[in-house]
A and B are shown apart, each in its own frame.
Chain A
Amino acid sequence: MRKANRIITILIFIFLYAPMAVLILASFNTGKDITQFEGFTFMRYVEVFQDRSLLTLLGNSLIISILSSAIATVFGTFSAVGIQRLGPKMRKTVMGLTNIPMTNPDIVTGISLSLLFVFVGSKMLGQRNSLTFWTLLIAHITFNLPYVILNVMPKLQQMDNSLVEAAMDLGCTPTQSFFKVTLPEIMPGIISGAIMSFTMSLDDFVISYFVTGLDFITLPVEIYNYTKKQLQPKIYAMFTMLFLLIFVLMVVMNLLQLRQEKADRARKGG
């Protein structure tokens, strides 16, 4: 049984990674066609760094995802603390509200936000340019917030409330007790919320595609535009580099986490 599962798992991983292997291979291809390998070259990587617009787009994507996930993390953490203190009925309503962007298909979220921005910006305020960097940022924060809330809330619920009370008894102000007791306790939730919202926002295409204007475009949206023309092989090189970067980041994160767990165990044991 276990052997069969192992074989299936290996096959599934091949299935998951085969298309990416194709893309990575294509980044070393001298020819333009993804289906025919004509020769080996590193030129595509040089081309990426010569292409100003590609680097700007990557920068744009990073700016949006870092800003939106940072804002959503801070905003979401404080909100989660607030929601935790709400009455049960109200809390249920608010969590229902939080679930809307989670269950709604991305395409509907994207369309509803873009209609809102255009409706308010152009029709009500008479603005010429209503789809800007700021509206994109708002959209990203909006779909990032639920990830933070849903990761922080369980940690808050698990937390032993007597810890906070003890801190207060020992003379902490509520603010102090939050930063000294609550925050370290819920930190794992905050971090996983932050990482999730960062990756969601970095890779988001559908929502950005509907909300974006012309003056601030992110990489996934432009990749879509690229796929509507003749695809330039330097895109594959870019993909490969991002793949490696994310791979290394993930491994590092995992190693850090493992080391910390070991340290925790050692501390508890000693």
Chain B
Amino acid sequence: MKKYICLLLTVLLLAGLCGCDTADDRVTINVYNWGQYISEGDDGCIDVIALFEERYPNIRVNYVTFDSNETMYTKMAGGGITVDVIIPSDYMVGRLIEENMLLELDYNNIPNAQYIDSRFRNTDYDPENKYSIPYTWGTVGIIYNSNYVDEEDVTGWELLWNEKYADKILMFDNSRDAFGIAQNLLGYSINSTDPEELKACAEKLAEQRPVVQQYIMDQVFDLMENEEAWIAPYYAGDYLTMAEENEALCFYLPEDQGFNLFIDAMCIPTCAENKEAAETFINFLCEPEIAGGNMDWVCYGTPLTAAKEFMDPEVVNDPVSYPSEETLDRGTGYISLPRSTTRLMEELFMQVRNGIPVHLP
């Protein structure tokens, strides 16, 4: 019997040792970001967090990821957590501002904000730049595998409804992006608040469900790269990452339909505990050299022209990452919708996902 007790004690002791390193006097900031959205030293790129901790040895970064704005919001609104830096998309920033969930930034701690291009300042979601600093921007388009998908079928968003490719189509697993596609297909505004229009979109999405293989977010990488799926709507920057692994993949922005142009921005939520350290972190990410190195891996568009000189020229000149002005003009940004509309949209999307009849509550 003593042996068991000895064993237990040894294990306990080991656990005690593991627990010790948390007891230092460094400040910890919780950074809550999208998955696959910061360079962590893979593929010969820089390790942003390690570099940050090296320069600011008294700050420790606890990096946690989410897979959609809605997941992040649900976690934050549910209460019960502290986060110091979040990087949501435009419309979510707007919503968080409206709901008083963000703190005003102190620009004295973020001198590198001066490098942000004027195009990305004074945006619809944060007109006075009080709460957010852009991290990346990009477009939402269709990624398809040219080995399996006929060019003639690649016309617009209706490709995602094409029964010919049933069980090979992926779809967004978040309400806003899924509805955005249905709205663009049906010719509605992607910022519509009309319940009837939303219901029509939900019905369209429900119609799509039988041909959809899976509703996904970042699982898209594996599925598209190993050709388990052939068609998926996703963010342009991520397409570049996938295309490096599988050359048959192509990216397409529908020509006579609208598409979403998004900005993801860094903010400090009201539940932050170390605002100054959080601002230091944001400032670090805005440093042109760091931002450039980071974007080399992330492949999304950078809002800092100054960063481009530190980047791989191939990425900077890629029309998928940095489309022409005319193309960009066709894109629309999401704006923050009234709480009731968001709620309705989520409710309808749940109905689609759960396979229950679409109805207005």
Contact = CB atoms under 8 A, between A and B. Distances in A.
A and B touch in the complex (CB under 8 A): yes
Interface of A: 32-33, 35-36, 53, 59, 62-63, 66-67, 70, 114, 117-118, 121-123, 128-131, 184, 187, 191, 194, 213-215, 217, 225, 227-231, 256
A129 B271 contact: yes
Given A36-B226, A114-B80, 13 more contacts: A66-B12, A67-B15, A118-B80, A130-B80, A131-B81, A213-B80, A214-B62, A214-B82, A215-B81, A225-B65, A228-B218, A228-B219, A230-B36
B19 A59 contact: yes
A67 B30 CA distance: 25
Given A63-B18, A231-B222, A70 B4 contact: no
A256 B6 CA distance: 13
23 contacts: A33-B225, A35-B226, A53-B63, A62-B11, A62-B14, A63-B19, A70-B8, A114-B80, A128-B271, A129-B81, A131-B80, A187-B1, A214-B82, A215-B28, A225-B35, A225-B67, A228-B217, A228-B218, A229-B65, A229-B218, A229-B221, A231-B222, A256-B4
B83 interface: yes
Interface of B: 1, 3-4, 8, 11-12, 14-15, 18-19, 28, 30, 32, 35-36, 62-65, 67, 75, 78-83, 217-219, 221-222, 225-226, 271
A123 B81 CA distance: 13
B221 A214 contact: no
B75 to A, nearest CB: 8
For A33, A66, A114, A123, which residue has the most chain B Cβ atoms within 10 angstroms? A66
Contacts of A36: 226
Dominant SS among interface residues on chain A: helix
A138 B84 CA distance: 26
Contacts of B81: 129, 131, 213-215
A117 B79 CA distance: 10
Contacts of A217: 64
A215 B62 contact: yes
A230 B30 contact: no
A230 B218 contact: yes
Contacts of A213: 80-82
B3 A215 contact: no
B226 A214 contact: no
Nearest to B272: A128
A118 B32 contact: no
B35 A229 contact: yes
Dominant SS among interface residues on chain B: mixed
Given A194-B8, A229-B65, A62 B15 contact: yes
A129 B3 CA distance: 41
Contacts of B222: 32-33, 230-231
Nearest to A129: B82
A184 B80 contact: no
For B65, B83, B217, B222, which residue has the most chain A Cβ atoms within 10 angstroms? B222
The 4 closest A-B pairs by CB, nearest first: A122-B79, A131-B80, A59-B18, A229-B35
Contacts of B82: 128-129, 213-215
Nearest to B219: A228
Contacts of A231: 222
B59 to A, nearest CB: 15
A62 B67 CA distance: 26
Nearest to A217: B64
Contact of A130 (B64, B65, B79): B79
For B3, B4, B75, which residue has the most chain A Cβ atoms within 10 angstroms? B4
A31 B75 CA distance: 34
A118 B62 CA distance: 22
Contacts of A191: 4
A225 B180 CA distance: 25
A5 to B, nearest CB: 34
B30 A118 contact: no
A53 B67 CA distance: 19
B131 to A, nearest CB: 19
Contact of A121 (B79, B219, B225): B79
B148 to A, nearest CB: 17
A89 to B, nearest CB: 35
Given A215-B81, A215-B82, A228 B67 contact: yes
B78 A118 contact: yes
B217 A214 contact: no
A225 B63 CA distance: 12
Contacts of A67: 15
Contacts of B30: 214-215
Nearest to A66: B15
A118 B79 contact: yes
B353 to A, nearest CB: 16
